[in-house]
């Protein structure tokens, strides 16, 4: 868990004091990632690291394009020299591709591709099951909360609206994959 510890310390240094609610959310996303470890095998630590660091693009020192997924990935890559796969998972998490299209940042996102579908599914599941304040939440309710918070004139609203079916499909794939690795209960 060396990579995850490193990412945890970095994210805490960037978010805990200046963005405490974002930090609480990131901690829940991390704890959700830990629950997926049996289904992820060798990629469990990478997901844990990406989960805790997925929102570092909101930190003032990381803001560049205004799209936090790309900004976080660039900060991880350019400032701290993080593993390229970690940067990719952060760059592609949740509705990033849809937001990148809305903002004309397709080429910036492509710097981190191609995305790894299984890891993008997993980070999306973790993000959408974590409320903005760090509580467990139903993914459909989480998406409704995002849409309500931003409103129809905002890029995030448009991106999440377009992405919603795929985001919920990602959650379903992870739930199915997690269910498959659970030991059978014998009565």
pLDDT by residue, tens only, the chain of 187 residues: 699 999 999 999 999 999 999 999 999 999 999 999 998 999 999 999 999 999 999 999 999 999 999 999 999 999 999 999 999 999 999 999 999 999 999 999 999 999 999 999 999 999 999 999 999 999 999 999 999 999 999 999 999 999 999 999 999 999 998 876 554 333 3
CA 54, 97, 138: angle at the middle one, nearest 5?
A: 60
As a whole number of angstroms, the distance between CA 4 and CA 31 comes to 11
Distances (CA, A) of 148 to 22, 39, 144: 18, 33, 6
Asked if residues 74 and 66 have their Cβ atoms less than 8 Å apart, the reply is no
The pLDDT, as a whole number, for residue 187 is 30
The pLDDT, as a whole number, for residue 180 is 65
As a whole number of angstroms, the distance between CA 52 and CA 185 comes to 32
The pTM (predicted TM-score) of the whole model is 0.94
As a whole number of angstroms, the distance between CA 96 and CA 109 comes to 8
The pLDDT, as a whole number, for residue 38 is 92
Q: Would you tell me how many other CB atoms lie within 10 Å of the CB of residue 92?
A: 26
């Amino acid at each position: 868990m060396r990579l995850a510890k490193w990412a945890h310390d970095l994210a805490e240094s960037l978010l805990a004091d200046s963005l405490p609610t974002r930090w609480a959310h990131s901690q829940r996303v991390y704890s959700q990632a830990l629950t997926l470890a049996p289904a992820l095998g060798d990629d469990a630590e990478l997901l844990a690291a990406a989960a805790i660091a997925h929102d570092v693009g909101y930190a003032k020192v990381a803001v560049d394009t205004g799209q936090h997924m790309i900004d976080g990935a660039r900060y991880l890559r350019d400032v701290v020299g993080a593993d390229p796969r970690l940067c990719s998972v952060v760059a592609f998490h949740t509705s990033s591709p849809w937001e990148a299209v809305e903002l004309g940042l397709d080429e910036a996102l492509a710097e981190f591709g191609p995305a790894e579908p299984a890891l993008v599914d997993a980070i999306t599941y973790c993000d959408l099951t974590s409320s903005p304040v760090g509580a467990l939440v139903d993914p459909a309710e989480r998406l409704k909360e995002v849409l309500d918070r931003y409103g129809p004139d905002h890029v995030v609203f448009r991106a999440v609206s377009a992405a919603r079916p795929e985001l919920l499909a990602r959650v379903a794939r992870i739930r199915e994959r997690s269910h498959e690795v659970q030991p059978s209960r014998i009565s």
